[in-house]
Amino acid sequence: MRRQSMTIKGGYFSDDGTEIDQTTVPTPTLCLSCLKNNDATEEVSCMINRMDQMKETKNKERFLCFAYEPNDPSINKKKLLREMDKYWMEQNRKYLVKQKKKKKATRLHPNDTVDPDIYQTLL
């Protein structure tokens, strides 16, 4: 039996397997004032967080990082994290309201009739 060799490629990839060029991932302003920004041991976790929020960053929405450590002692970390948490909670609330509306829109009205044969196709 012939042995096949496998090549392992490093880097960052999207959920569908597409490679992501690191240079295309924007660095949010918040990262520039973070102690972890130039820390090699934090590079992967920071990059994953940035990639996860690329769409929001490009749309000028707030970037969230609950691992943030200010590099300037005048920055009030607790207040900043509280503001991020409030923003995150509000975004989740809006998302849940939107999902609830979608769910209501797909429900049948009591006067709607359903073809009983449709259930057979689902079984």
Q: What is the pLDDT of residue 121?
A: 52
Residue 23 CA to residue 25 CA, distance in Å, equals 6
How confident is the model over 36-70, as pLDDT tens digits?
A: 999 999 999 999 999 999 988 888 889 999 999 99
32-33-36 Cα angle (round to 5): 80
pTM of the model: 0.68
Structure tokens that stand for 72 in this block:
């300037």
Q: What is the pLDDT of residue 110?
A: 61
How confident is the model over 2-40, as pLDDT tens digits?
A: 677 767 678 899 889 899 999 999 999 999 999 999 999
